[in-house]
Amino acid sequence: MRNLIALSACYLVISTASAIDAPAEPKGLPAIRPNLKAAADAEKAKSGVAVPAEKTPAAGAPKSTTPAIKPAAKAVPERKPSQREQEAMAEAELSAKIAARLAEMKANQAARYAAAAKAKKDAAARAAAAALAAKAPPPRANGTVWTYEGELGPSNWGRINADWAKCGSGSRQSPIDIRDGMKVELEQIGFDYHPSAFNVTDNGHTVQVQVSGGNYLNIGNRMYELQNFHFHRPSEERINGRGFEMVVHLVHKDGEGRIAMLALMLERGKPQPAIQTVWNNLPLEKGETSAPSIVLDPNDLLPQKREYYTYMGSLTTPPCTEGVLWMVMKEPVQASPAQMALFSRLYPFNARPIQAASGRMIKESN
Ligand SMILES: [Zn+2]
């Protein structure tokens, strides 16, 4: 009888556990089974009566208990079973139920473990794919849009396009704060400029003036031909920490493609005739070019004194190409406040920040 109660309690416990369906550890099941067997063994030893179904059926094989019940029923067909026999039969039936329930739980558990294993495997596969993607080189940057402020501004130029890497990694970049120059007898710059046909473009970064061929700058036994000139506000370069309201950059190239840049600082003063000619011929729309029928003499832009600073630097806009010979005239050129104001309406700020000089040699005229 005690055995029956123990078995009933076991069944109740198992049913409750499976009803909750908590993800039990696999060790949970074996823990129940030995207890069950121990109870049955104890009862057998006490009563001495054979209990056919006492053998706890192997989990997962509930059918094997059915034949065990039948012989017990057959053993006493001719008389009414005693109370003990009835208890034994009830025990056998309960044992079979428990075995079936255990088998069901085991199957459920196996299904859960299989699902968990599959999820783990899937996660591992995803992690492996992500690791592979991280290892692969990033797509080559090929942006073409840059600005002077915000996300596409100077600090990010080097990342926008792979060909602009020098903007971020270069060590001989422009502009710089020109100071501690070595005062030497610098060679005079030879200007061979003439009144020339020109056109004016508002290219979205500055006002640029294209000049027809035949204007040369001679320095270091090389002839550089004037290509164009353009404006920045404020001046990009500084001289001993001092910036200017604007600067004009005249871009020259020699036969081998080497670039020589002439910088003319602009300060407030009297109107500048060449600049006025440019302003008079500004295109009405950004991206458009106006090609007037008049001529412009680049000589009119130059200051009277020809002393200058010189150093090796770069273009101050993408692609920030290095190996550029810079010449910055010491004497500023004057332009009227109205001329300055007109440009500031188009471009209030279009200057790259100062770059590290990194110990570069700067020479200046005595
Ligand atoms: Zn420039």
Q: How confident is the model over 170-187, as pLDDT tens digits?
A: 999 999 999 999 999 999
Residues composing the chain: 366
Read off the tokens for 153: 């501004």
Do residues 4 and 88 lie in contact, with contact meaning Cβ atoms separated by under 8 Å? no
Nearest to 319 by CA among 140, 209, 160, 207: 160
Pairing verdict, β 259-268 and 177-178: unpaired
> In what helix (H) or strand (E) does residue 39 lie, and over which residues does it extend?
helix 28-47
Q: How far is the CA of 182 from the centre of ligand 1 (A)?
A: 24
| Chain centre to alpha carbon of residue 188 | 49
Q: How far is the CA of 140 from the centre of ligand 1 (A)?
A: 27
Q: How far is the CA of 315 from the centre of ligand 1 (A)?
A: 7
Q: How far is the CA of 229 from the centre of ligand 1 (A)?
A: 8
Do residues 105 and 17 lie in contact, with contact meaning Cβ atoms separated by under 8 Å? yes
User: Which of these ranges, 77-86, 117-126, 283-292, has the smallest mean pLDDT?
Assistant: 77-86
Q: How far is the CA of 342 from the centre of ligand 1 (A)?
A: 18
Question: Where does CATH 3.10.200.10 sit in the chain?
Answer: 164-365
Do residues 244 and 266 lie in contact, with contact meaning Cβ atoms separated by under 8 Å? yes
Quick check: pTM over 0.75?
no
Average pLDDT, the chain: 85
What are 219's strand-pairing partners? 222
Tens digit of each residue's pLDDT (9 = 90 or more) over 5-40: 555 655 555 555 544 444 444 444 444 444 545 544
Q: How far is the CA of 15 from the centre of ligand 1 (A)?
A: 84
Superfamily of domain 164-365: Alpha carbonic anhydrase (3.10.200.10)
Q: Write down the residue that tokens 């920040």 correspond to.
A: 353
